[in-house]
Amino acid sequence: MEDYQVLIGLEMHCEISETKTKVFSSAKNGYSEEPNSHIRPVDMAFPGTLPVVNKEAVKLALKASMILHCTQPEYMYFERKNYYYPDLPKGFQITQETKPAPVGSYGYLDFECKGESKRVRINNIHLEEDAASTDHYPTFSTIDYNRAGVPLLELVTEPDLHSAEEAVAFLETMRSIYQYAGISEADSRKGQIRCDVNVSIMDKGKDASNPKNWGTKVEIKNVNSFGGVRDAINYEIERQIALKEDGTYDEMEQQTRRWDEDTFSTIYMRSKVDAIDYKYFVEPNIPKFKLSPDWLESIRASIPELAPERKEKYEKVYHLSSYDAQVLVKEKAVSDYYEETISLGADPKGAANWITSVILGYLNKEELEIKDLYLTPTMLVDLMDMVKSGKISSKQSKEVLNKVLEEKKAPKEIVKKLGVTQISDDKTIRDIVVKVLDEHPDLIEDHRKGKNTFDFFVGQVMKATRGQANPSLTAQIIHEEIDKR
C-alpha cells in the first residue's frame, strides 16, 4: 500500500425528494409501498405523451449547483440518453450531458475527514429523471413505475479522493448538504442515494495532478450504501495492488465492474470497448430556456444555514464541545430539534446533553428517527424546567422520560400520574432526618469516627419519602443535624 497512491472519483446519484411532483410529469414525487400508485401516462411513455419540466426541481438543482460553487448555465437544456431497458419506458432517459452546459459545471467542495480539511473538485452536477424499479424472480420480473421520472441529481467529482474514508466523508457531507438545503432526505434506505465509484492506483512519488501518470480507471457501478462504497473501494484497491505485485497490472483494461454484496467483491461487467453509445441529442420537446439573473439570485438567497455554519455557532455561541456540536449537526432533523428546543428557552448546554446522551441513545436503540420521537421539543423544555425548578430530581427526570416515551403521554401528565415529585420543603425533610438520626445514635458515632454511614442516612430518608426527597437538600440537612448533636 505504501508504494501506491489511490485516485478515487465518485458519481453520486441522489433523488430530489422535496418536490411535490416528478421532474417531467405531474405524478406525485413520493415514496410508496404500493407499486404503480404514483404514475401518469408520461411515466409509462404512452404514445403522444410529452415531458413538462418541473420548475421546482430545476430550482433545487440550481441550489445544489450553487452550494458546490459550480457555474450555472445561461440556458437550460435537456438531452436524451438513448438505450433499451425494461425500467426505462421511453427507451431514453431525459438528462443533461456536459454539452450544452448542465445545471452546474466545474465547482468544488471542502469537507472534513478525520479532522483534516479536504477539497474535491466537482466536474459537473446535472438534473435527470430516475428509472422505474424492477424486481426479478426466477420465472418473471415486476416493474414499479413509481420511481420512473423522480428527479435525480447526478454529481460527478474529479478523482481527487485518496481513500475509502475520504470518499465516505465526502458522501456524508453531500448527504448533509442535500438535507440542510431542503433538496432531499438523501436516505439510502429508501434507495435515494446510489453511487458509481472510479478507482485507480499509481506509483507513489509521481505527480497526481498530471493525468498521464494515472493508472487504469476501473468503474464500479451501482453501489447503494456508504458502507458499500467503503468496502468496494477497499476491495478494489487491494485487487489492483495485487495485480501490480503480480506484474499483470498493465494488462488490465479499462473496465466496468459491479459491487457484489454477497461475495463482498467487485465483479467484471464489461470492458470500455463495449461501452454503450447513448446517442445523446437535445430533447426537442423541451425548449431551451434562459435562466434569469433575478431568479438565480433569489435561489442563491434561499440557501439556508448548512451544517458547518451551525456547528460553528454551537461551538462559539453555545459553548458546546466540538464533538457534541458535530453529533448534533450530523442529521438536519436532529439539529432542527435542538434549535427548536433552544428557541423555546432551554439552556443550550443542558438541551445538548439531553439530546446527545439520552435521546439519541434511545433512538439508536429503538432504531427510530427523531421525527418519530413522541417527545416534542416543548415537552423536553417542560421536563428540563421541572428539574431546574427542583420539582423533580435529575434522576427522576430520566425515569419520567422513559415513561413519556413508553406511554406516549406528556411529561407533566406522567409526573402527576406517578406522583413523582420532589420534596424540597426544609421542614418536612428535617423532621424525617431528625427521626432517622434519633433511631441510630451508634451510627452517628461511627460517622464521627470516619466510617461511611452517611449514605445509610440518605438511604433511610429516601426510603421514608419513596425517593422524593431532594437529594442535595437532604444531604445538607443531615450534615446540619449531625453537627448540632
Partner 1 sequence: MTYMDKGLVEIHEALKSGKVTSQELISESLKKSKEVQEKCNAFVTILEDAKETPVTEDILSGIPYGIKDNYSTKGILSTGSSNTLKDYVPFFTATAISNLESHGAVAVNKTVMDEFGMGGTGTTGHTGIVKNPWDQTRMCAGSSAGSAAAVAAGVYPYATGSDTGDSIRKPAAYCGIVGYKPTYGMISRYGLFPFASSLDHCGVLARSVEDAAIVVDGMKGIDKNDMTSWDSSNMHLYDSLTKDIKGKKVCTIKEIADISMYPNASSELKEHLENFHNTLKHFQDLGVEVEEVSVDQTLLNALASVYVVISCAEATSNMSNLTGIIFGPRSDADNYIDMMKNYRTTGFSPLIKRRFVIGSYVLQAQNKDRYFHNAQRVRRLLVDRWKEIFKNYDAVILPVGSGPAKKFDEDKDMLDHNTQVLEEHLQVGNFGGFPSITIPDGFVSGLPVGINITGNCYDDINVLNIAYALESTMPYKNQIVKEEH
Identity of the residue, 289 or 374, whose beta carbon is nearer to partner 1 in the bound complex: 289
Cβ distance to partner 1 smaller for residue 103 or 164: 103
**Chosen residue from 3, 32, 37, 46 binding partner 1 by CB under 8 A:** 46
Closest CA to 126 of 52, 16, 257: 16
Residue type, 26: S
Q: How many Å apart are CA 187 and CA 15, to the nearest integer?
A: 9
Q: Which of 3, 20, 37, 50 binds partner 1 (CB under 8 A)?
A: 50
Residues 466, 179: Cα–Cα separation, whole Å: 47
Q: Is 98 in the site for partner 1 (CB under 8 A)?
A: no
Q: Which is nearer to partner 1, 90 or 230 (CB)?
A: 90
Q: Is 192:35 a contact under the CB 8 Å cutoff? A: no
Cβ at position 255, least distance to partner 1 in Å: 19
Question: Which of 63, 90, 311, 447 lies at the binding interface for partner 1 (CB under 8 A)?
Answer: 90
Query: For the window 323-342, what string marks contact with partner 1 as x by the rule CB under 8 A?
Result: --------------------
Q: Which residues contact 439 (CB under 8 A, 6 or more apart)?
A: none
Minimum separation from the CB atom of position 280 to partner 1 (A): 8
Which residue bears the cell 421525527? 371
Residue that has been written with the C-alpha cell 438513448 in this structure: 82
- On the CB side of 466, CA atoms within 13 Å amount to 4
Q: Applying CB under 8 A, what is the total number of residues that bind partner 1? A: 29
The Cα-based distances of 204 to 189, 213, 226 in angstroms read 37, 10, 27
Instruction: Using the minimum distance from each CB to partner 1, give the nearer residue, 286 or 434.
Output: 286
Among 277, 367, 442, 455, contact with partner 1 (rule: CB under 8 A):
277
Beta pairing partners, 110: 119
**Segment near partner 1 (CB under 8 A); pick from 80-88, 245-253, 385-393, 395-403:** 80-88
Q: Does the protein bind partner 1 through residue 45 (CB under 8 A)? A: yes
Q: Residue 15 and residue 18: Cα distance in Å, rounded?
A: 9
Q: How distant, in Å, are the alpha carbons of 55, 90, 253, 337, 417 from that of 397?
A: 49, 59, 64, 19, 14
- Closest approach, Cβ 163 to partner 1, in A, equals 34
- Report the distance separating Cα 156 and Cα 143, nearest Å: 28
State in angstroms the smallest separation of the CB of 399 from partner 1: 58
Cell of 151: 428527479
Which 141-170 positions form the footprint of partner 1 (CB under 8 A)?
141, 143
Q: Least distance from C-beta 90 to partner 1, angstroms?
A: 5
Question: Length of the chain in residues, anyone?
Answer: 485
Binding mask 372-401 for partner 1 (x = CB under 8 A): ------------------------------
Identify the residue among 63, 65, 76, 92 touching partner 1 (CB under 8 A): 92
281 near partner 1 (CB under 8 A): yes
In the bound complex, what is the minimum distance in angstroms from residue 144's beta carbon to partner 1? Answer: 13
With binding defined as CB under 8 A, does residue 80 bind partner 1? yes
Q: Which of 20, 32, 37, 91 binds partner 1 (CB under 8 A)?
A: 91
Nearer to partner 1, 86 or 459 (CB): 86
Contact between 44 and partner 1 per CB under 8 A: yes
Q: How far is the CB of 129 from partner 1 (least distance, A)?
A: 14
C-beta separation of 10 from 171 below 8 A: yes
CB of 32 to partner 1, least distance (A): 19
Shortest approach of partner 1 to residue 266 CB, angstroms?
A: 25
Q: Yes or no: say if 384 and 354 are a contact pair by the CB < 8 Å rule.
A: yes
- 52 lines the binding site for partner 1 (CB under 8 A): yes
Contact 132, 87 (CB under 8 A): yes
- Grouping H, G, I as helix, E, B as strand and the rest as coil, residue 353 is helix
Q: Is residue 285 involved in binding partner 1 (CB under 8 A)? A: yes
How far the first Cα of the chain sits from its last, in Å, is 75
The nearest distance, CB 130 to partner 1, in angstroms, is: 17
Distances (CA, A) of 220 to 97, 149, 190, 317: 20, 24, 21, 44
Q: Cα dihedral sign for 205, 207, 212, 214?
A: positive
The Cα 184–Cα 16 span in angstroms is: 5
Applying the rule CB under 8 A, the residues between 4 and 43 that interact with partner 1 are 41
Binding site for partner 1 (CB under 8 A): 41, 44-53, 80, 82, 84, 86, 89-92, 141, 143, 277, 279-281, 284-287
